[in-house]
Structure 1
Amino acid sequence: MKKQLSLNLIMASLCVAPVFANAAVTQEAVVKHYADIAHSVYSDSLTTAQSLDKAIDALLASPSQATLTQAREAWKKARVPYQQSEVFRFGNAVVDDWEGQLNAWPLDEGLIDYVAQDYQHEMGNEGANANIVANRTIQVGNQKVDVTKITPELLAELNEIGGSEANVATGYHAIEFLLWGQDLHGTAAGAGERAYTDFVVGAGCTQGNCERRREYLKAASELLQNDLNWMEQQWSADVKGNYRAELLSDSAENGLRKMMFGMGSLSLGELAGERMKVALEANSTEDEHDCFSDNTHNSHYYNEQGIYNVYTGTYLRVNGQLVSGPSIHDLVAEKDAAAAKDIKAQFDRTRDQVHTLVDSAEKKQQAFDQLIAAGNKEGNALVNDAISALVQQTASIEQAAGLIGVNNLNPDTADHQF
């Protein structure tokens, strides 16, 4: 993780000047390169999900603290490219319509498996304690479902059962819960502490239903790979009639608008608003993004890195390869070199500020759930500073959009006031 961060910082420092300073950069070339970056990001997301699946297989073949730890580390590595993909959500309906099955949160984990007796769930959610792992049939409102055989298809059908968005049966966070269990530490230090014996077959099984818990984990992992494979194909240059072809057949102006809207909406409404402001104002660990693993600081940082990638036309792949090409920054620099320098500097400041959340977790042992605790003035201020930087970055995105002819951008605020 630290190696990935340092390489990203080195890569970004090289992107101050336009990549193609000696030749005019076209809008069409920038949009095409945006599609190339998207394909690389989703390809890496698929590759790391496949590595996660292998680690899950190793855990199920021989449950131990070592194999559980290795599966958890593989999950964290899988989050690195995926979180950088979220910048493609807003503006690209094909991504936004698909994303919920992979990354929906917060979730009522009692739908999936056992929880503590004082577990807090969404009010009125009739599926909040269904416990698929412990039952062959579940009843949610008037809906009765046979869950005897846990398959990827079944889990997909159970998402939002009973009409509640908190009923999340699939994706990264369902897998996260199965690997870590609930984080019962509140705003104190510590993540989930699920025992590896929850996956042991036979007499050593803890909490019961270990066979079904194993089946659930494997089915969720298979579905994650299937979904990522589909999206990787949507951005591939080798597949005819996919979303990439649709995007590139449209006008370059519309493509640029999608790029800028995606950056602004993730920066403002989603990251500053839904993922930071909501949790901070409520001092709520239930609204923490990676709440079982305490990996939230990294997820926030890589969301910001994804925004940075699109603006600079760069992406550092998990194999160390740097993808680089014509960018929005190049287009802005051609219009106003001084403004481009200022805008890039704001992107650098914002990314550095969001990275302070990573520094807090790794150097000071204060993760995001501790920073948002009531009474933690220093931690609250750190999160507030990150929110403020993201708001300022969004203003720079709007400025850049205006300079290249994308007016009235109106990034999504998710109904938050800043």
Structure 2
Amino acid sequence: MKTLKLMVAAFSAVFGMSASAASNQEIISHISYNVISATYVEFAHATVSLKQAVDIFVQNPNESTLAQAQAAWRGARMPWESSEAFLFGPVDSLGIDPMLDTWPLNKQDLDSVLAINTPITTDMIRGLGTNLQGFHTIEYLLFGDGIRTNSRPLSQFTQRHFEYLQAAAQLEMEYAVALANSWTTNYNPEDATTPGYSAIFAQPGANNPFYTSDAAVMEELVNGMIAIADEVANAKIAEPMGADISSANVGLIESPFSWNSLNDYTFNIRSIYSVYTGTYRTSKGPGIKAMVERHNPQLAQQIEQHILACMQLIQAIRPAGGGDMGQAIFTVDGRQRATQAIQALNQLQAVLETQVLPLVDKQ
């Protein structure tokens, strides 16, 4: 218990603690502009960096440029996974989520495309299924199959690997930039007169096309946190584990090729932390915690600590000898640590459902 408290303290120092009394409108405005929009803008910039790193690697393939491209993939993964507590608005209505991040990857069909002579372009990939583009296609091409190692040997790269990598990275960047633009500038690409979704989200009211009240926005935010807590616990972690070691399935793990799965899950819970505390990077302001504080300051603080503990418990799943989720689920102690994380996440989900969501109607 002492060790866990120290870990929580460390996370608190990194992400910051913020809890100040604020109105619902102040909470909504801050989260809209300084958490959600800021996350998507960072994500767009990160995909530009990924495209640039992929281009450099293709132009001069060596161990160093490959490592830089892999690092850029992980760098883009962080803000994307840190957005999953707010998978509403344009990311949903424009169908951007599946184009960016469908998994599992259809590896068999991808290998088939790589084996034929059809020209590889962004438009060609755009026309394929969502499980032949996006993050996990790029991941497989950069990192390999992830079975014994999380880095593809240079000798395995072909000209078509390079072409697919560049086209897929270009497409990923286009989707990410469109998503950022939808929040900052214009949420409906078919109507140039519409504002950025951040303005819509931040100004609920009778004339708002999506949110007629503060309560509607607050409910959207709390339900977003509930949904990702449930998904991480009961899909992303639990499903690959199976009922026992003999039924564990690496194919159900997100980001299995790069061994980045546990970071993905941690960033997912960080998205809860960002919405709850109003903290993203250096930006600090009121989050959902401020609403909880008006009713129960002690509960508000306990929930923040619980979120941080969940993040730490996810990281603790990692095998001591190295590896990631794909290795942990095949060991008894790794599965025990994963079960502890699942239990904590389910407790967090229950608290959000039973003690936070009802407060939305008490404003």
Same fold (TM over 0.5): yes
Q: What secondary structure sits across from 1:107 in the alignment?
A: coil
2:356 match: 400
Q: How far apart, CA to CA, are the structure 2 residues paired with 1:386 and 1:255?
A: 29
The higher relative CO (CA closer than 8 Å, separation ≥ 6) is in 2
Offset from partner CA, 1:347-366 (integer Å, 9 cap, x none): 23222222323xx35x5414
Matched, 1:372 2:334: no
The aligned counterpart of 1:27 is 24
SS of 2:115's equivalent? coil
Residue 51 (structure 1) shift:
1.1
The secondary structure found in structure 2 opposite 1:404 is helix
Equivalent pair of 2:328/2:334 in contact (CA under 8 Å): yes
Number of equivalenced pairs: 334
Match runs of 1:265-276 below 5 Å? 265-268=227-230, 270-276=231-237
Matched, 1:135 2:93: no
Contact between 1:256 and 1:406, CA under 8 Å: does it hold in 2? no
Structure 2 residue corresponding to 1:228, chosen from 173, 176, 191: 176
- Shift of the alpha carbon at 1:298? 0.7
For residue 125 of structure 1, what is the aligned residue in structure 2?
none
- 1: CA distance between counterparts of 2:146 and 2:140? 9
When the two structures are superposed, what TM-score results if normalisation uses the length of structure 1?
0.75
Conserved? CA contact 2:269–2:307, under 8 Å: no
Who is 2:119 aligned against? 149
Q: Distance in 2 between matches of 1:60 and 1:367?
A: 28
What's the offset of the Cα at 1:403?
A: 2.4
- Equivalent position of 2:17 in the other structure: 14
1:336 maps onto 2:296 in alignment:
yes
Partner letter of residue 352 of structure 1?
Answer: Q
The residue type paired with residue 218 of structure 1 is Q
Alignment partner of 1:262 is 2:260: no
Structure 1 counterpart of 2:140: 177
Q: Which of 165, 172, 180 in structure 2 is aligned with 1:217?
A: 165
Deviation at 1:264, TM superposition (A): 0.2
In the alignment, is residue 244 of structure 1 matched against residue 198 of structure 2?
Answer: yes
Residue 406 (structure 1) shift: 7.5
Q: Distance in 2 between matches of 1:341 and 1:180?
A: 40
| Identity fraction in percent | 26
Q: Secondary structure at the match of 1:183?
A: coil
Residue 302 of structure 1 deviates from its aligned partner by: 0.7
Q: 1:309-329, CA deviations, whole angstroms, 9 ceiling, x for partnerless residues?
A: 11111111xxxxx11112110
Displacement of 1:159: 0.9
Preserved CA contact (<8 Å) 1:332 1:404: no
Q: Aligned-pair distance for 1:7? A: 8.3
CA contact (8 A) 2:238 2:342 kept: yes
C-alpha separation between the residues in 1 aligned to 2:9 and 2:183? 28
User: Partner of 2:257: helix, strand, or coil?
Assistant: coil
Amino acid at match of 1:32: S
How far apart are residue 105 of structure 1 and its match?
Answer: 0.4
Corresponding residue SS for 2:26:
helix
Describe the shift of the 1:403–1:75 C-alpha distance in structure 2 as closer, same or farther (beyond 3 A).
Answer: same
Counterpart of 2:178 in structure 1: which amino acid?
Answer: W
Q: Which residue of 2 aligns with 1:385?
A: 340
Deviation at 1:109, TM superposition (A): 0.8
Q: Distance in 2 between matches of 1:215 and 1:366?
A: 29
Query: Equivalent residue of 1:235, what SS?
Result: helix
- Give the residue type in structure 1 aligned to 2:47: A
- 1:290 & 1:6 partners in 2: Cα distance? 28
Q: 2:82 aligns with which of 81, 84, 96?
A: 84
- Match in the other structure for 1:139: none
In the TM superposition, what are the counterparts of 1:43-122 in structure 2 within 5 Å?
43-89=41-87, 92-96=88-92, 97-113=95-111
1:128-147 residue CA offsets vs partner (Å, 9 max, x unmatched):
xxx112213xxxxxxxxxxx
In structure 2, how many angstroms separate the alpha carbons of the residues matched to 1:347 and 1:283? Answer: 27
Where does residue 312 of structure 1 map in the other structure? Answer: 277
Q: Could you say which structure has the higher helix fraction?
A: 2
TM-aligned CA deviation for residue 401 of structure 1: 1.7
Q: What SS class does the counterpart of residue 132 from structure 2 fall into? A: coil
> Which segments of 5 or more consecutive residues in structure 1 lack a partner in the other structure?
114-130, 137-147, 161-167, 200-209, 317-321, 408-418
Query: Using a 3 Å threshold, how does the CA distance of structure 1 residues 13 and 59 change in structure 2: closer, same or farther?
Result: closer
Aligned-pair distance for 1:289?
0.7
Aligned to 1:122: none
State the shift of 1:8 in Å: 5.5
Q: 1:54 to 1:183 in 2, by over 3 A?
A: same
Could you say what the CA RMSD is over the residues aligned between the two structures, in angstroms? 2.2
Contact 1:346 1:396 survives alignment (8 Å): no
Give the 3 Å change call, closer, same or farther, for CA 175–326 of structure 1 in structure 2. Answer: same
Q: CA deviation at 1:175?
A: 0.2
Secondary structure class of the residue paired with 2:280: strand
Shift of 1:93: 4.6
- Deviation of 1:337 (Å): 1.6
Structure-2 change in CA distance of 1:223 and 1:406 (3 Å): farther
**Contact preservation (8 Å) 2:39, 2:79:** yes
Instruction: Please report the TM-score for the alignment, with normalisation by the length of structure 2.
Output: 0.86
Deviation at 1:333? 0.3
